[in-house]
């Protein structure tokens, strides 16, 4: 029997293939900006600003709420339509911070529905952020 639990997160999510990264941070921290940079690197929008995370039999899946699916707020342009994917496997959580730890001693994790997800803390608005996220995604994909 299939069990599904769903929760909404204040986060922007993009996917590379069928695997997604959720970007968390306070309003104005650069979630959409980082997502746009990742989209420029070949990622596809899942959801902007609000992401639905579902636990489908122990696998975290990300989608957009129907009211905002395929829409992204781009500062200076407003709300724009974008290509979108849904129901993708969530494999990484990125948390935008002003001053993340340089060399964390222990692996960082985000726990959602009791499932541990690798977490990467990245400096808000850092020019290197999309490269760092892309490297982390590749490493996780290689380990799976």
- pLDDT > 90? residue 91: yes
pLDDT, position 104: 80
From 44-53, 80-89, 105-114, the region with the lowest mean pLDDT: 105-114
Range of the domain at 31: 4-143
Q: Which residues are catalytic?
A: 10, 31, 49, 102
The torsion of the CA quartet 78, 84, 89, 90, rounded to 10 degrees, works out to -10
pLDDT > 90 fraction of the chain, expressed in percent and rounded? 80
pLDDT, position 3: 63
- pLDDT > 70? residue 130: yes
- pLDDT > 70? residue 6: yes
Nearest alpha-carbon partner for 63 in 83, 44, 46, 38: 46
pLDDT, position 2: 59
Domain total for the chain? 1
H helices of the chain, in order, are 31-40, 129-143
CATH number, domain containing residue 60: 3.40.50.300
Q: What is the DSSP letter of 29?
A: S
């Amino acid at each position: 029997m299939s069990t599904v639990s769903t929760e909404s997160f204040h986060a922007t999510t993009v996917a590379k293939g069928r695997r997604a990264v959720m970007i968390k941070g306070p309003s104005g921290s650069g979630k959409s900006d980082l997502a746009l940079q990742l989209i420029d690197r070949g990622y596809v929008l899942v959801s902007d600003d609000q992401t639905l995370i579902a636990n489908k039999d122990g696998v975290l899946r990300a989608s957009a709420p129907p009211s905002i699916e395929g829409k992204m707020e781009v500062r200076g342009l407003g709300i724009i339509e974008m290509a979108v994917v849904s129901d993708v496997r969530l494999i990484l959580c990125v948390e935008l911070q002003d001053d993340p730890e340089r060399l964390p001693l222990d692996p960082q994790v985000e726990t959602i529905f009791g499932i541990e997800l690798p977490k990467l803390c990245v400096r808000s608005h850092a020019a290197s952020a999309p490269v760092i996220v892309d490297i982390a995604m590749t490493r996780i994909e290689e380990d799976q």
